[in-house]
Amino acid sequence: MNPGFAIEARGLSKHFGALRAVSELDLNVPRGQIYGFLGPNGSGKSTTIRMLCGLLTPTHGNASVLDTEIPGDARSLKPKIGYMTQKFSLFGDMTVWENLQFIAEIYSFPVAKRAARIEELLGKYDLVDQATQLAGTMSGGQKQRLALACAVLHHPDLLLLDEPTSAVDPQSRRDFWANLFRLAGAGTTILVSTHYMDEAERCHRLAILDHGVKVADGTPQELQGATGMHVVEVVAGDPYAAQAAIHGLDEVASVTQLGVRLRVLIPDRYDEPVRIVERAIAAAGMTAKVTVTSATLEDVFVAVTMKSPGNSQ
């Protein structure tokens, strides 16, 4: 295995009866980086994370996680990883301090260093004033910070985060990501699943999953530059009517309305994408400003999932 990777997976698959939750996944996650899993619910993100931390046994394939073989010696992997689930899974009837103390006991953190480590985490994650508060009475953002503090208490080399920001407000999400960058800067490898495009753009690298299949992998910039699509922006007085005029064209793969603007994806095998759209707009008796623009990650996601084996489009 490559020592530069915290995670390497080859052909990793998980079937639940006839359902193929994850299919033939190859994965390389560099050490010390934030690697994202982008995809909708049911795309296989959570199943993959559970296989990588040893909670699920793969149907086929294998992985090396921090030089530990999966399936195989998953028990020895536990002290090296932190795992944070989408749903708050700590003890609501225990205080913040008690939750951290309990996690310290689970990971056999040295007794002589526990109090100092807990104090350090309370300060880092802005929980000093909540130390004696019952966890179940805290806000969503406070619960999120507590869950992250618990996940990193034992200084793990790898953090596995399963849609950790799905239930918090935008400010809490920004603060959470600031903490992730700080951890990655200190050498922690982070694998985080999300369905938020803006979060995916913050990752050093990411994979896009659809129906259990990896349909794209690379840096956000690499993916944005390799959609295989022209991206055309249309600004029209009546965007709904303009969308109707464009949508039925054979050359058009997708049309999405964003306020008064439309984003049109046209496969790059077609020349002069602006003229294609302008002709359709004119034929409908309308005028619009039509320009070629650069791809966003949302454009990438639409383009690659349209090509996915699980998508009939």
Both tokens assigned to 100: 């951290």
Return the CATH number at 118: 3.40.50.300
Q: Is residue 309 in a domain? A: no
- pLDDT-based confidence at residue 312 (cuts at 50, 70, 90): very low
Helix and strand element counts for the chain (H, E): 11, 14
- pLDDT-based confidence at residue 263 (cuts at 50, 70, 90): very high
Tally Cβ neighbours within 10 Å of residue 243. Answer: 16
- pLDDT-based confidence at residue 313 (cuts at 50, 70, 90): very low
pLDDT tens, position by position, 5-20: 999 999 999 999 999 9
- As a whole number of angstroms, the distance between CA 140 and CA 127 comes to 13
- 212 and 252 part of one domain: no
- 160 and 189 part of one domain: yes
Q: Has residue 311 got a pLDDT over 60?
A: no
pLDDT at 308: 52
- 186 and 244 part of one domain: no
Return the CATH number at 240: 3.30.70.100
Domain, as residue range, for 253 = 228-294
* DSSP single-letter state for residue 130: G
Beta strand pairing call for 34-38 and 189-194: parallel
Return the SS3 of 264: strand
Contact indicator for 24, 11 with CB cutoff of 8 Å = yes
- 207 and 284 part of one domain: no
Q: Is residue 312 in a domain? A: no
Domain count along the chain: 2
Both tokens assigned to 66: 């921090």
Distance of CA 34 to the CA centre of its chain: 10
- 92 and 215 part of one domain: yes
Q: Is residue 246 in a domain? A: yes
pLDDT tens, position by position, 84-114: 987 767 898 999 999 999 999 999 999 999 9
- 232 and 215 part of one domain: no
* DSSP single-letter state for residue 137: G
